[in-house]
Amino acid sequence: MLEVGDMIPDVCGLDEQGKSINLREFIGKKTVIYFYPKDNTPGCTKQACIYTQNNKFFLENNINLIGVSKDSVKKHNNFKDKYNLLFKLISDESLSINKSFDVWKEKSLYGKKYFGTDRTTFIFDKGGELLKVFSKVKPDKDFENIKDYLV
């Protein structure tokens, strides 16, 4: 896992419009990058909608907000449109971003093991240095954790 003081990784994904994005493009503003398992699932939808409801906080504090999952560009575009999400979503079908941030983990459900994204939030300063990591994030508490940390 990235540690406080590490720089934002030099990795690329596709945004919800299919445009290639390097995460280092966000250096210059504080940046919150959150990893979530899957579009249109109850927890992920709740988390994304809470962010959108609080979009004013991110705008007033000059903070980039980026969501990352392994969903396709098309799924991201549909998810963003369906819930009127006001921030960028990045598709990581190759898992290169998940693996760079070390959030692609073995999980277990009802005794069955599988790999998936650990819901994790990273906060970077405007120079691209990691300030804080929130692991095992609860979808309904993540925004409050971010807000409490940044103000």
- Please confirm, yes or no, whether 12 is among the known catalytic residues: no
Closest CA to 67 of 122, 128, 11: 122
Task: Name the β-bridge partners of 69.
Answer: 91
- Active site residue: 14, 44, 48, 103, which one? 44
Closest CA to 30 of 122, 140, 138: 122
CA distance 137 to 49: 15
Residues belonging to the active site: 44
